[in-house]
Amino acid sequence: MHQKRLVAALTGGATSAVVLGSLLAVAPQAAAADVSCSTNVYKRTFYKNTSFSGSPVRTDCDSVVDQSWSGSPVSGVPSNNFGVRWSVTRDFGSGGPFTFTVSATDGVRVYLDGVRKIDLWTGTGDTARAKSVNLTVPSGKHTLRVDHVNWSGAAKVKYTYTPRTSATYDKTKPLAPAGVKTAYNTTTRKTTVSWSANKEMDLASYALYRRPVGSGTWTKVTTTTARSHTDPLVNPDDRTPYYYEVRAKDKAGNTSSGSTDTIVRPLPVVTSLTGSYDKATGKVTLNWPLNTEPHFDHYTVLSNDNVDGSYVWVPLGTTKGNTWTTGPVTADGETRHYRVLVTNDGGTTTYNPNWLDANAPHELWLAIPDGIAPYYAPDLTLGSCTTGIQATASDTTPAPIRDFNGFEIERREAGTDTWSVALHKGFDPRPATAAATVCDPLPADGRRYEYRARSYDASRNYSPYSEIRAMTVPVG
């Protein structure tokens, strides 16, 4: 047989061939460019054989499986002995009972995640036949595939998958709605709630609920098939926060759990306030989380100060940022109080009562280090004791206004430069005169010793030294 005629006989028109020397090589079919289809749209591939082998002649997208061809379905595919495959991966939400229905001439098979669910694989000529199966699709994403082959004559195929919406069969709750967002309008004082589309195929409606913060009772706002709703409730003063949640209901009457509760604060709040004191500059720096609500406008920073004998909240200034540095603050060991208020774009500001509130998240009680030493030096007296010299430091400042906690007495041998601590001690707070005494053991060798004293406070700030007193230890 002539080589060209041999090639034609072997290929049967299904493939092309080339002759390499005396050998026959079959060339692969031209690969069709891959395509990306929209969500929940089938990818469709055409083959010019019934075994779905080799590269497809064409790949495109198909919104439904519902075709009727009386001849070649697409260019390059014969009228008979061809195959078409549809496949799609979609999210079935919570899943549940479904009905798969197919009608086709010749061969058709339906798969769920690669498992065959319908198998009609016999020639029928031009007459289609149908089959339906009821099955349960698990939640989440799954792949559907339909294979159809046409051996001869007309090619007809139709496939659908639909949820069973009777309460008799469907006991599966829908997934809770996701992507809930809120927007507060300070002009109308109303809240608009929106959410993402539910992935259920048998969705009937959504229900929007609200409850005030601090209450456990939900109030239904509306039932809707839309994915947003403006709550008709007018917030009376921009200050009452509410929680919102959305629930989904399917056609069988099953209701989902609520979406993640979303809080709406008509007036943004400062959720925490921290601060630090810089000893070098004497300034306090305050920090808080930056509010990002669209209706946020600015902050006001306040300090609780003594004005005309009374402590009041005094504004330090306003800012749109989330940090503030004060002017120099006296390092007096006292607690300073700061507060940060928020104003929305409607002009409403956080309540600002005059009293202090240790539990308010937008209020800071900051202990300032004590950098002020006791002002006066104590008195120092010396005398003899059984083993050496007795030294006593004392101060007559009245107990209610004492700014020291104890005394320190130092000693050195006259004519030397090195001091050593002979006493570091607190005092008995009950007597009118605060005093601390030490019997300093020294050898009875006739040497002369000098003493000085100072007081100290709880932050280890020291007063000036007393005058130096001297005493000679008698020779024993």
| CA torsion through residues 364, 370, 372, 378, sign | positive
The domain defined by 42-163 folds into: Jelly Rolls (2.60.120)
Q: Which residues, at least 6 apart from 157, have a Cβ–Cβ distance to it below 8 Å?
A: 65, 66, 67, 84, 102, 103, 104, 105, 108, 128, 146, 148
- What was the pLDDT predicted at 14? 36
Whether residue 12 is predicted with pLDDT greater than 70 in this model: the reply is: no
Whether residue 452 is predicted with pLDDT greater than 80 in this model: the reply is: yes
Report which of residues 107 and 22 the model is more confident about: 107
Which helix or strand (DSSP H or E) is residue 10 part of?
helix 3-11
β 283-287/262-264 pair status? unpaired
Q: Which residues of 413-423 are buried (b: 16+ CB within 10 A; e: fewer)?
A: eeeeeeeeebb
Q: Give the CATH H-level superfamily of domain 274-367.
A: Immunoglobulins (2.60.40.10)
Residue listed under structure tokens 């800012």:
319
The domain defined by 379-472 folds into: Immunoglobulin-like (2.60.40)
Q: Where in the chain is the domain with CATH 2.60.40.10?
A: 181-264, 274-367, 379-472
- What was the pLDDT predicted at 236? 92
Q: What is the pLDDT of residues 362-377, one digit of tens each?
A: 999 999 999 899 999 9
3-state secondary structure of 9: helix
Token duo for residue 399: 């107990």
Token duo for residue 452: 């000085």
Quickly state the pLDDT bin for 33 (edges 50, 70, 90): low
Segments in 291-447 forming alpha helices (H): none
Token duo for residue 291: 């509010």
Q: Which residues, at least 6 apart from 313, have a Cβ–Cβ distance to it below 8 Å?
A: 302, 303, 304, 339, 352, 354
Note the CATH number of domain 181-264. 2.60.40.10
Average pLDDT over residues 105-132: 97
Q: Where in the chain is the domain with CATH 2.60.120.260?
A: 42-163
Question: Structure pTM?
Answer: 0.71
Token duo for residue 320: 């749109």
Distances (CA, A) of 275 to 127, 284, 285, 339: 83, 7, 5, 11
Residue 93: closest CA among 142, 54, 131 = 142
